[in-house]
Structure formats: C-alpha cells, structure tokens
Amino acid sequence: MAEHGDGTRADVSPDFSGKTAVVTGAASGIGRAIATRFAQAGARVALVDLAEEAVRATAAEITGDGGIAEPYACDVSRQQQVLDTFRAIAERSGPVDVLVNSAGVAHVGTVESTEEADFDRLYAVNVKGVYNCLKAVVSAMKGRGGAILNVASVAAVVGIPDRFAYSMTKGAVLTMTYAVARDYIAQGIRCNAISPARVHTPFVDGFLARSYPGREAEMFEALSRSQPIGRMGRPDEIADLALFLCSDAAAFITGSNYAIDGGFVTLKM
C-alpha cells in the first residue's frame, strides 16, 4: 500500500497481468497458496503437481474465483516429464515469466535412521526436481528475463533435530539458488530463495495424526511455541513474500535468501 497526499491509501499490489507463472507442488499447502496468490494478481498460472486429482481441484477453485489456471500432472523428479510439461505450458500460456519451485517432500530421522530409499526419495524430489525445473526454463528466459523463486527452509541454515535428509536437500536448494543467480544475472534472470520455518499445512496435520494420535492439539501447541513469535506461519503469508520477490518491485533483489520464520533463526534461544 502507498499513501496519497491526502492520507488515503492506494493499492499498489504487484500486477502480473499478461505474465505466465509456473508453481510446482501447487496442489496443496504452500504451493497452493502461492498459485492462488499469483492468480489473484492477474497471472496465468500453471499448476504443476504429481497429485493429478488434487491439482485439478485447485485449478478449478482458482478459475471459479475468476483467476486463470491450468493444471498439469507431472513428477518433477523425472526430467523428460518436466521438459514435456513445460513445453506444453509454453504452447498453451506463452513463455514462462516466473517459476516457483515449491514441490517437496519431508522426512524425519537422523543419519542412522535414514534408509537409502528415504535419502534417494528426498533427493529425487527436493533436489533433482528443482534442477529439472530450472533446466526447463532458464534457456527460454535468457534474453527476455524472468524471476525464479526456490522454496528452501530454515533447515538449510540451522541444525534441526531429526531432519538429516531434509536439511541436506534444502541446503542444496539454497546453493542452487546462488549458482543460478550468479550464472544468469547478465541475462536478466533473477533467482532468490525463501526459507520458511514451520507453516501450518495439511502435512503438519497429517504428521501429528500419525505420530501423536490423541495428542494432536497438545503437540500442535508445542510446535507452535517452538518458534519465538509463538505460532506457525500461514501459507498465505509465505505466498505474499513469494509474490513480492517475483514482482518488478523486487527488481534489485537476486541471489538472496529470505527467512520467513517468526524469528526462528535469529531469535531462537
């Protein structure tokens, strides 16, 4: 919001009209909120997710609210699927202006309790999936510019108990962000990362139900209090930061990582 001379406020929210934004992991949680927010800002949004039924439902909800959204069922860990999907997006919606890499999976465990299959699964989605999507858009963005946002995590920069494999993958996401920002700055491509702490998503609810049956409310409060601000983040709060960083208002920002964590990194005692 900006202030007029008469003290009234004017809406200066980012306008993505005429732009094509791709959001992976768009069927639920943070990705769903980001896709919805971009559609509200006028973008043509391509929703990419492995969960075909859920991503179609999300797209239908967005279009029902007046947005422009197309669902694409795709396994981001499979490069040919990704290349084919991004080719279809460009043919239907035009060149990609914005890519948000939000698809990801989690795992609880130390190095001892993490099995090879767990490690490989997280690497395939969280690391290779980001690489595949980056590879699919960077060449097309060169010369015309674009904005890329990778969803990392506070686990990329601080030690969190029982998150060995997850932390590994998010550290890789962060360093891929820096590499792409450095390699393509002269081509007008900006690449940034955001690092959320705990955000209240369906994943959190499912984790609590599986791990603490009958104690969900108690453990939810405990997890909320583990962040200095005293609560979990909301997906729409993450989406607002994502929208800003991909907008022209952030044209001077690249190669940066933004913690959105209720003080978790800097204020945690």
pTM: 0.92
pLDDT value, residue 205: 86
Asked if 97 and 19 touch (Cβ cutoff 8 Å), the reply is yes
Choose which CATH entry (3.90.1150.10, 3.30.70.600, 1.10.1060.10, 3.40.50.720) describes domain 15-197+234-259: 3.40.50.720
Domains of the chain, residue spans: 15-197+234-259, 198-232
- Between 25 and 268, whose confidence is greater? 25
Options 123, 166, 178, 212, the catalytic residue: 166
| 178 catalytic per annotation | no
Quick one: which of 159, 156, 89, 97 has its CA closest to 126?
156
**pLDDT tens, residue by residue, 3-59:** 455 554 445 689 999 999 999 999 999 999 999 999 999 999 999 999 999 999 999
For residue 1, pLDDT over 80 is answered with: no
Least confident window among 120-124, 174-178, 208-212, 218-222: 208-212
Can you tell me the distance from the alpha carbon of 196 to that of 200, in angstroms, rounded to the nearest whole number?
Answer: 11
The pLDDT mean for the chain works out to 94
**pLDDT tens, residue by residue, 233-243:** 999 999 999 99
